[in-house]
Structure 1
Amino acid sequence: MLYVPGCNKRYLEKAKELRADTIILDLGDPILLDAKIQSRDNVIEMLQERGYGKREVVVRVNDFDSPWGLNDIKAVAPLQPDAILFPNIESKEDILNCIAELDRCGGQDISVMVMIESPLAVLNAKEIASASDRIICMVLATSDLISQMYARTTQDRIALTTSLSLVILAARAYGLSVIDGIHSNLKDTASFEYACRMGRDMGFDGKSLVHPDQLAYANDAYTPKPAEIEQAKAIISGLAEANASGRGTVVVDDKLVEHHHVTAAKRLLVQYEMMEELENNI
């Protein structure tokens, strides 16, 4: 998921060619105050053009209680982006207020994503995730979280591991997608690659990015490898054959396979098919 600043039309145009699954048209914190209105106009133009192909198009609006938040919602809701990303959500009440305003602006059919970027938001992740069936995804803002925790950024991300796990658990408990936070040191590719693989292994669905150069690393980490696809197929067929012969489990590649492994394998294949479709239509 690539953040693209609404203030830069060249970046907005270039994003139409990038191998990102999701483009986040960003009106939020990175935009200078005197560029807020122009950024909104640029994003409106991009939404009207519908030039991002099969990519998911999300708009991150400004804070609900900021001078721009409500007008952002009013401007983009009629243009029906795939989702609205609401920042600084810390409670069930916060997100329900945002959804109510989105509905008043004609966005009843628009999906919602929430940003988790503070200690309070992490502690309230369960109530936020369960607040509405309109919510489809939780997005970590790990840079903000590190600052508010008075923590330090390290390659092993030790300060974040508890928070990451709590948000993943909340998302999975309510059937939501969950996306890891950005990596702001653009030159430290070793740490970024490590963070991508760590996030994948923890259970994240993907990584949010701030620069196109990071796309290759994130795509490589989160795209299933051929061996994983073959193993998933073997798990599904192996247990099906075992069940047909009256056995409830089977051993595949020296590992005991049960029903939950088949569920995970089928999910992996669905993800891979979606990735293949997107790749073929970019």
Structure 2
Amino acid sequence: MEHHIRPRRSVLYVPGCNQHYLDRARTLAADSVILDLGDPILIDAKEQSRANVVAAIKQGGYGSREVVVRVNNLDSIWGHDDIKAVANIGADAILFPNIESREDVLKAQQLLDEAGGKDVPMMVMIESPIAVLNAKEIAAASDRVICIVMATSDLISQLHAHVTHERVAILTSLSLVILAARAYGKAVIDGITSDFKNMHSFEYACRIGRDMGMDGKSLVHPAQIAYCNDAYTPKATEVANARLIITALKEANEAGRGTVVVNDKLVEHHHIKAAQRLIKLHEAITELEEEYI
């Protein structure tokens, strides 16, 4: 089952320890914000970050942006308390880090349910080689999982690989996770680019992810948002072509033909579903961006 189409072109991590960033996120053109309680937060700031995030979500003001909370690892001393604190406060989803198996998904779901979040959607992070290899069972584990988020920096470290402009070290991993996500109707988000001042490399990474089939890219700095949004927004020519495909094949079918040529390309029935999805995404993005203006 494919979940409701929701733009996730730009998914911004917002540290829960910084009140200014939590407030500023309400004004940024990111499709999703991840209010972060996880690894980047210093130990001494964990509990204050949790209180800040709870207060921020209860205060609201994020508009139609998707508001996600990333909790700490379930085997950490903060993970269970994080879940209890955020399970039922109005977040659009809870993001669970370091998920490596079906059992991990079910454990996270059970803890969320026990904390009062039985109807709250889940997101899961894939950040290790074993998680990539188990991507199929992770994606299939529960209908509650709506999105898979790649943690490519962690993955590169565990692969003993190097960051390159062409991203050669992780292309196979990205493809395996995309396959799993699409097989089970999940959204899938690319990992961050740590060098947030190298916009040339960041833009290239966005377009690689888009061309591979990602729904968007996670990011760590507001300056990266515009590049994500541009890369993952269907262009006007693509939308026009999608509408033409739907009309042309409909007319061909009515005339007794199963295929038709549109802009010098053969169009068959499977192109219709892709065209319809692109149009729905375009409409959802247009509606969301009206809030930013």
Common fold, TM-score beyond 0.5?
A: yes
1:36 counterpart residue number: 46
Map of 2:163 onto structure 1:
153
CA distance in 2, matches of 1:126, 1:78: 29
- Choose which of 123, 141, 144 in structure 1 pairs with 2:133: 123
More contact order relative to length (CA 8 Å, sep ≥ 6): 2
Query: Quick check: 1:83 aligned with 2:93?
Result: yes
AA at the equivalent of 1:140? M
Determine if contact 2:94/2:120 at 8 Å carries over to the other structure.
Answer: yes
Helix, strand or coil at the partner of 1:187? coil
CA positional deviation for 1:80 = 2.6
The answer to whether the 8 Å contact 1:116/1:140 transfers is yes
Question: Which of 14, 23, 41 is the aligned partner of 1:13?
Answer: 23
Structure 2 distance, partners of 1:281, 1:259, is 35
Q: What corresponds to 2:290 in structure 1?
A: 280
- For 1:188 and 1:47, locate their aligned partners in 2 and report how far apart those are by CA, in whole Å: 32
In structure 2, what is the equivalent of residue 114 of structure 1? 124
Helix, strand or coil at the partner of 1:185: coil
Task: Give 2:276's aligned residue.
Answer: 266
Q: Once the two structures are superposed, what CA deviation does each residue of 1:188-216 show, in whole Å capped at 9, x if it has no partner?
A: 11110000000000000000010000001
Cα displacement string for residues 233-255 of structure 1 (whole angstroms, at most 9, x for unaligned residues) = 00110101101111000000000
Deviation at 1:262, TM superposition (A): 0.9
CA distance in 2, matches of 1:5, 1:42: 10
Contact 2:58/2:90 (<8 A) preserved: no
How far 1:20 sits from its partner (Å)?
0.6
Once the two structures are superposed, residues 162-192 of structure 1 have per-residue CA deviations (whole angstroms, 9 ceiling, x without a partner) of: 0000000000000000000000001111110
* Secondary structure, aligned partner of 1:160: helix
Aligned residue for 1:75, secondary structure, equals helix
User: Which residue of structure 2 aligns with residue 172 of structure 1?
Assistant: 182
1:250 counterpart = 2:272: no
SS state at 1:207 partner: strand
CA contact (8 A) 2:126 2:149 kept: yes
SS of 1:169's equivalent in the other structure is: helix
Q: How far apart in 1 are the matches of 2:119 and 2:205?
A: 34
Q: What is the aligned counterpart of 1:48 among 55, 58, 69?
A: 58
Deviation at 1:78, TM superposition (A): 1.7
User: Are the counterparts in 2 of residues 80 and 107 from structure 1 also a CA contact under 8 Å?
Assistant: no
Letter in 2 for 1:77: A
- In 1, the alpha carbon distance for the partners of 2:59 and 2:248 equals 48
Amino acid at match of 2:226: A
In the other structure, the counterpart of 1:199 is 209
CA–CA separation in structure 2 for the residues paired with 1:225 and 1:242: 26
Question: Which residue of the partner structure matches residue 100 of structure 1?
Answer: 110
> Hey, which bits of structure 1, 4+ residues long, moved more than 4 A?
none
Equivalent pair of 2:94/2:122 in contact (CA under 8 Å): yes
Looking at structure 1, the residues matched to 68 and 121 of structure 2 have their Cα atoms a distance apart, in angstroms, of 9
Tell me if the contact between 2:69 and 2:95 (Cα under 8 Å) persists in the aligned partners: yes
- State the TM-score, normalized to the length of structure 1: 0.99
The two structures, once aligned, show a CA RMSD in angstroms of 0.5
SS of residue paired to 2:74: coil
Q: Quick check: 1:116–1:122 contact (8 Å CA) kept in 2?
A: yes
Contiguous gaps of at least 5 residues in structure 1: none
Query: Are the aligned partners of 1:137 and 1:178 in contact in 2 as well (CA < 8 Å)?
Result: yes
Provide TM-score, normalisation by structure 2: 0.96
User: How many pairs were matched up?
Assistant: 282
What SS does structure 2 have at the residue aligned with 1:230? helix
Deviations 1:128-156 (A, max 9, x none): 00000100000000000000000000000
1:243 and 1:249 in contact (8 A); partners too: yes
Structure 2 regions of 5+ residues with no counterpart?
A: 1-10
SS at match of 2:88: helix
Secondary structure of 1:267's match?
helix
State, as a whole percentage, how many aligned pairs show the same letter: 66
Take 2:253 and 2:67, find their aligned partners in 1: how far apart are those partners? 42
**Residues in 2 aligned to 1:241 and 1:175: alpha-carbon distance in whole angstroms:** 30
